[in-house]
Amino acid sequence: MTRISSLFITTLALMLSTGAALFAAPVPDSMYVIQGQIDGADSGYVYVSYEYNHQPHLDSAKLIQGTFVLSGYMPEPLQAVLKVSGSMQQFPFFTATDTITIKAHKQRLFDTEVTGSPEQQAYASYRRDYMGKVPPRKAPGDTAFARGLDKAAEDFILDHTGNYCAAMVLYDKFIVYMNKPTARRLYNKLEPKVQQSAYGKRILYMLDSGNRTGIGMKAPYFELPDSNGVKHAVTEFRGKYVLIDFWASWCVPCRKENPGLVKAYQQYHSKGLEIVSISLDSNKPQWLASAAKDNLTWLQLCDLKAYGGAITELYGVHAIPQNYMLDKEGNIMAVNLRGEKWVEFVNQLFAGK
C-alpha cells in the first residue's frame, strides 16, 4: 500500500477568490475532499485526525464564516475523528476517496450529518438497524445481551462484505476480543479489496500471528525503560494482578479509557492491583505531558519507537488501545478489557478482598 503523503489544506476563501466553482471537477481516485458547515463557529479551526499504517495524521482548516474545506490524498476510506476548536466534543466518522459534506453544530458534534461517504452510511446503519434491534441489557454480565451484539455485528458484516466499514466492525468486535474462529470465518467472506484494506491487513496479521498472548499463556518477557531510562521487566510484578496497557498520547480511544483505569487503580491498588502503561509514542514530552494530564500515577514505560519497537511484535500489538490482564504468576487472564467489561472484571476480581 502506498504511504500517505503530506495532506494539504485548501481554504474556502482561496477558492472563492479565484472564482472557481467549488467542486466543478471530479475528484481524482484516492483524493478526498471534506467540505462543511459548522454552526455556532464563525471562526476558529476544524481538525480531522486518523491513523494509517500505524502513523497518526492530523489535518486542520480555518473556519471562514462557519465553512471549511479540507483536501488531501487517502488510498482508501478510513475512520477519522472531527473536532472543532473551543469544543470538548468530537465526532468519529468514515472518510471517502471522494467528496463528502459535513453539517454540524459546534456544541452538538454528536449529531453531525455526513453525506457522500458510503462507509459512514453503512456505519450509521450498523448502529441504528443492527445494534439498535438488540434487546436492552438487563444486568451487568447479561450473556443474552452479549450474544445479541455479536449476532448484530455478524449480520452486518455478511450484509456488507464489500464495504470497508465491515472490516472495522469485524476487527473491533471479534479480533479485539480474541474470537478468532468467528473472525476467520467472516474474514473469508469479505471482498478482496476489503481484505487488502488497512483494517483487513490488521485482521489477517492477528489471525496468523503466533499464540504467544492467548489466555492462559505466560506473558512474554520484556524489559522497557521508564522516563528516566531505568529498565523494568514484566517479572517485577509477580505476586500481584497486573494490567499491561498499550496506549499513546495521540490515541483518542486510549485517552477515553484512562479515567476508568485511574478509578480502578485508586480503588484496588492497595489490594494488589498494578497497572503498567506502555506508550507507543515517539515524542517524549507529549508522552509524559499526556500521562500527567490523565493522572496516570503508575509505572509508565516507552522506548519511543512507536510501532517499530520489539514489544509490539512480541505482544502482537497492531492497534491500540490493547491490554492484557496477568494473574499473580504472570499468566494472561484476560485480553482487551475496556469500558464496562474492565469495571466488571476488576470488581469481581477483588470482590471480598
Q: What is the pLDDT of residues 260-302, one digit of tens each?
A: 999 999 999 999 999 999 999 999 999 999 999 999 999 999 9
Residue 229, Cβ neighbours under 10 Å: how many? 6
The predicted structure's pLDDT at residue 122: 94
Residue 122 lies in a domain: no
pTM for the model: 0.60
Examine the fold and report which residue of 65, 95, 116 is the final residue of a domain before the chain moves on.
Answer: 116
The CATH number linked to 107 is 2.60.40.1120
Give the residue among 37, 166, 10 at the shortest CA–CA distance from 113: 37
Indicate the average pLDDT of the chain: 85
The answer to whether residue 3 sits within a structural domain is no
Give a yes or no: residue 217 inside a domain. Answer: no
Instruction: Give 91's DSSP letter.
Output: E
pLDDT given at position 210: 53
Reported as a single tens digit per residue, the pLDDT across 18-63 is: 333 333 334 445 778 999 999 999 899 999 988 887 778 888 999 9
Dist. CA 180–CA 204, nearest whole Å? 10
Residues 237 and 264 in one domain: yes
Tell me whether residue 172 is in a domain: yes
Between the alpha carbon of residue 30 and those of residues 27, 76, 263, the distances in Å are 8, 7, 43
The Cα–Cα gap between 241 and 105 comes to 44
With CA atoms as reference, report the closest residue to 167 among 201, 132, 137.
201
Residues 99 and 196 in one domain: no
Q: Which residue is associated with the grid cell 462543511? A: 36
Residue where one domain finishes, among candidates 175, 208, 241: 208
Is residue 256 in a domain? yes
Say if residue 109 is in the same domain as residue 156: no
Residue range(s) defining the domain that contains residue 175: 127-208
Residue 121 within a domain:
no
93-141 pLDDT tens trace: 988 888 899 999 999 998 899 999 999 999 999 989 998 888 888 776 6
| Residue predicted with more confidence, 8 or 222 | 222
Let me know whether 316 and 256 are in one domain: yes
What letter represents residue 334's amino acid?
Answer: A
What percentage of the chain reaches a pLDDT higher than 70?
90
Task: Concatenate the DSSP letters of all residues of 281-349 into one string.
Answer: -S-HHHHHHHHHHTT--SEEE--S-GGGSHHHHHTT--SSSEEEEE-TTSBEEEE---HHHHHHHHHHH
Whether 175 maps to a domain, the answer reads: yes
110 shares a domain with 137: no
* DSSP 3-state of 142: coil
Segment 213-231 mean pLDDT = 90
Burial class (CB in 10 A: 0-12, 13-18, 19+), 346: buried
Same-domain status, 47 and 154: no
pLDDT in tens, 305-331: 988 888 988 888 878 899 999 999 999
Number of domains, the chain: 3
Whether residues 335 and 258 fall in one domain: yes
Pick 55 or 82 by higher pLDDT. Answer: 82
Domain boundary among 208, 243, 261: 208
* Residue range 178-195: mean pLDDT, rounded: 90
Q: What is the 3-state secondary structure (H, E, C) of 29-47?
A: CCEEEEEEEEECCCCCEEE
- Judgement on whether residues 191 and 228 belong to the same structural domain of the protein: no
The gap from C-alpha 263 to its chain's centroid, in whole angstroms, comes to: 21
Cell of 239: 505476586
Measured in degrees and rounded to the nearest 5, phi and psi for residue 8 equal -130, 155
Residue 197 banded pLDDT, cuts 50, 70, 90 = very high
pLDDT band of residue 209 (cuts 50, 70, 90) is low
- 102 and 43: one domain? yes
Return the closest-CA partner of residue 205 out of 167, 237, 242.
Answer: 167
For cell 493522572, the residue is 295
> Which three cell numbers, joined as nine digits, stand for 34?
471534506
Q: What does residue 194 show for φ and ψ, rounded to 5 degrees?
A: -75, -40
On the question of pLDDT at 9 being above 80, the answer is: no
Task: Give 289-293 contacts, CB < 8 A, sequence gap 24+.
Answer: 289/249, 290/249, 290/255, 291/249
Shared domain check, 326 and 232: yes
**325 forms bridges with which residues in the sheet?**
243, 334
* H or E, element range at 229: none
Same domain, 233 and 323: yes
Do the domain assignments include residue 96? Answer: yes
Where residue 341 sits, what CATH number does that domain have? 3.40.30.10
Shared domain check, 94 and 39 = yes
